[in-house]
Amino acid sequence: MRWRWRWAGWLGGGLLLVPLLLLWAVSARTMENYTDPDGPIFTGNFAGSPSQIPSQIRVVSWNIRFGEEVATAVAEIRRNPNLANADIVLLQEMDEAGVAYLAQALAYNYVYIPASVHSHHGRNFGIAVLAKWPISRPEKLLLPFANPSNGQRRAAAKAVVHVGDLPVTVYSVHMETYWLRSLGRRAQATAVVQDIPIGQSPVIVGGDFNTISQTDEVRLAGQFAGVGVAHAPTTPSVSIAGLDVTADHLFARSLPVVAAGGASTAASDHKPIWATFSLID
């Protein structure tokens, strides 16, 4: 999530944002997008043999800014008991080398799907699902609409994580910023919601949804609640002009929330968020 804007004040109880659209649009470079639904998709296996089936699983979601401070992120994960040895980790703004480095360092299997080549660094820019458990059926879900300033497309990574005999459908999502108007961003969330399998099988959805107001958060939670996927109450994940904003979220179906929160970081402008879910109804 990247914004260059100034705060204009308050209007009707909501935050009025005035993007510096013209300045950025003039300087922005058009993105190279991966619009083929079949790929590219990168996979790797570093988790070893699965451990005993637990009664709970812990899930972490983290936007590591442009995937640039992965070594710092690994160290922070190791030091924090709420992050270390999580069963599932969802990452955003990553390239394939950073995902492979983190997965190998922390012993995870992974699926990585780039959505574009970012002009910031000229490397792949995408999302990943990492797990201590076997992963199958990796899929790319291309989200509708492009960033109007540079044509960048967004995507979600989908995979099935096998926690023992229990298949859990998992999505790592990175939606567009406020460059794309509200209806477009709602359509991106709808694309994920409509892809979720019908029924009561366990589902986990997490990532950077670029919500910056309570209205955004309530609307997003309502979209997922409509298919029985409940919001986990984590904490604000990013600071904009000194204000704490909940841009990153975790959702789950058929997995009751036991605890949830966030963690401090020096590796990114986004804080990692986490939630513990019960495997026992």
Instruction: Identify the pLDDT of residue 8.
Output: 34
Q: Which range of residues forms the domain containing residue 17?
A: 5-278
Whichever domain contains 211, its CATH number is 3.60.10.10
pLDDT at 14: 43
Please, what is the average pLDDT of the chain? 88
pLDDT digits (tens, 9 = 90+) for 25-64: 433 456 799 999 998 999 999 998 877 788 999 999 999 9
pLDDT value of residue 218: 94
Mean pLDDT of 117-138: 93
Name the nearest CA neighbour of 274 among 69, 87, 131, 73: 87
Q: Is 246's pLDDT higher than 80? A: yes
Number of domains in the chain: 1
Q: Indicate yes or no: pTM above 0.85.
A: yes
Q: 203-219: per-residue pLDDT in tens? A: 999 999 999 888 999 99
